[in-house]
Amino acid sequence: MRHPSESSLALYAGKELPFAARLPIAWHVRGCANCQRQLEELRGVHEFLCAHEGTIPAGLNWNALASELKANIRLGLAAGAIVANAEPVRLRARWLTPAMAFPVLVLVTAGWLLESVHPPLHSVRTASNAAAPPAYAMLQSSSAGIGFEKDGRGFTLLHPGAGTVVAWASGEDRVRARYVDDDTGQVMISHVYLQ
């Protein structure tokens, strides 16, 4: 064990350590002459202080000590009064309302600009398409997928990797397909509506 600290030895000399902390120091002091000498000095100081506990030191100027204590008390009271009367400083943010309104204004302006730049598409009747036959639309179902075609253009919902596809038309304006996806094992259902 290394040497105990001076504060631990002083507490041991005054018998102020608990039993668990006293035991290792007692074992160390038995075998260490240096710590024994220090312990004896600390015990002598402890006995001297206990013997002179109630006596006033000679040459003590009570008037100077009293005025110093009064000055410290007054200073503490004055500082406490200043701190107690101080109001918390509140920062007034004049920029907070405009900062919150600015993003909303930007979004409204952007929406208005996008709506005015790209108006909705309307079919325009010209002399060339006025005499054209009416457009046709056709729903399709095949082993590759279901879809529709109109004026030579269209799309198909593909179902690749499907073993058995069940497709059926319900009415003149919708086609449905149902199959089991081989990769995931989930049942997939597709609907195509014609408008």
Given a contact cutoff of 8 angstroms between Cβ atoms, the answer to whether 9 and 28 are in contact is: no
What length is written for the chain?
195
Q: What pLDDT is recorded for position 136?
A: 65
Q: Which of 51, 69, 86 is the last residue of a domain?
A: 51
Residue 151 lies in a domain: yes
Residue 88 lies in a domain: no
Q: What pLDDT is recorded for position 119?
A: 54
Beta bridge partners of 181: 162
pLDDT tens string, the chain, 195 residues long: the values are 588 988 899 899 888 888 889 999 999 999 999 999 999 999 998 888 888 877 777 777 878 888 999 999 999 998 888 877 777 666 667 777 888 889 999 999 998 888 777 555 555 555 555 555 556 677 777 777 778 777 777 777 777 767 677 777 777 778 788 877 777 777 877 878 776
- Look-up of token digits 């790209």: 118
Number of separate domains in the chain: 2
- CA-derived radius of gyration, the chain: 49
Q: What pLDDT is recorded for position 34?
A: 92
Residue 117 lies in a domain: no
Q: What pLDDT is recorded for position 62?
A: 78
Residue 98 lies in a domain: no
Residue 155 lies in a domain: yes
Q: What pLDDT is recorded for position 128?
A: 56
Q: Which domain holds residue 16?
A: 6-51
Residue 91 lies in a domain: no
Residue 81 lies in a domain: no
- How far apart are alpha carbons 141 and 67 in whole angstroms? 107
Residue 171 lies in a domain: yes
Q: What pLDDT is recorded for position 53?
A: 78
